[in-house]
Amino acid sequence: MWEELATLSASFWIQTFRSQTYSKLRFYSNIVSCTKEAYYQGYHSASRVVLHMHVNAYGHPGVLK
């Protein structure tokens, strides 16, 4: 009886640890993907602004759509 209880509790804790680890990993990977997305969006908008300023400064209309 005690061995069964010990096995059950061990498997319960292993399952709990696995699910918590999985949810933590998923949480951090979501953060990383959102951060990368925001970084790329910011990079593209900044490069677009720089290109727009460059185009305006040198007076080439129609280059930037």
pLDDT tens-digit map of 9-38: 788 877 878 777 778 888 888 878 877 877
| Residue 56: pLDDT over 80 | no
Arithmetic mean of pLDDT, 33-54 = 71
pLDDT, mean over the chain:
72
Indicate the Cα dihedral angle 47, 51, 53, 59, nearest 10°.
180
Predicted confidence at residue 7, as pLDDT, reads: 79
- Residue 48 makes CB contacts below 8 A (sequence gap 6+) with 64
Predicted confidence at residue 65, as pLDDT, reads: 45
**Is 64 in contact with 55 (CB distance < 8 Å)?**
yes
Task: Give the position of tokens 């993907």.
Answer: 33
